[in-house]
Amino acid sequence: MGKFEKDKQDILKCARWLSEHGYFGCLRGSGGNISVKINDENIIAITPTSRPYQGLSTDDISVVDYNLKSIEGHLAPSIETAMHLGIYKCRSDVKAVIHTHPVFASVLSIINQPIPALFDEIAFEIGASVEIVPYAISGSSDLAQNVVGKLDNNCFCYILQNHGALSLGKNIDQAWKNAELLEKVAQVYYYALTTGRKITTLPKDAIAQINKLREPTTTRIAGGLKFRP
């Protein structure tokens, strides 16, 4: 087993499950991408660009450094690699990033609708609000910059306007769970909106308490955030 084999296996397992359950838009498609930060090195493993997930092997997973230099892999990494790197550089609490195109989060992405605090579980796991990242073309530096601009809210999920969703985690299992939770709450919120009735959100004092329990100590540094344990 190679140095990066375990990380590649984790990515492949997650990618296949998400693909089979409709998180990438269609089973035969190659939309979305998954990465993990390898240990404490400035290295990530990430899915390749334009390759259907069902046919991938661990040999197809790319490994690159923070300067986009290829370390391992024969395929080009995802066109969204710069976006993933921007997240890792600004959020030291994030060790895995999953970009998906699920149905209900995508619906909210085209009506520019963030998700407020609706359930304790979601607020604790993801954060009080799932914010909208302004639109930019897929794979562009503008999109990466737009994502970085939203990262200081200490949340683990975001909706990409007219695009899809981002789910972050302290490991790939947490990011994977957050991807599921995001689509669940997006579905509930969408159906609630269609009733035309008033949406009941969590009380402000409850949100403040949850945020206090979740909030790491942070200091802002040039180019992003630095998290102190």
- Token reading at 200: 């009941």
- DSSP label of 160: E
Q: How far apart are CA 153 and CA 131, in angstroms?
A: 9
CA distance 191 to 32: 25
The question of whether 80 is a catalytic residue gets the answer yes
What are the structure tokens assigned to 41, written together?
A: 């090195």
Q: Cα separation of 200 and 11, whole Å? A: 37
Q: What is the largest CA-CA distance in the chain?
A: 56
Q: Which of 5, 20, 41, 80 is catalytic?
A: 80
Q: Write out the catalytic residue numbers.
A: 80
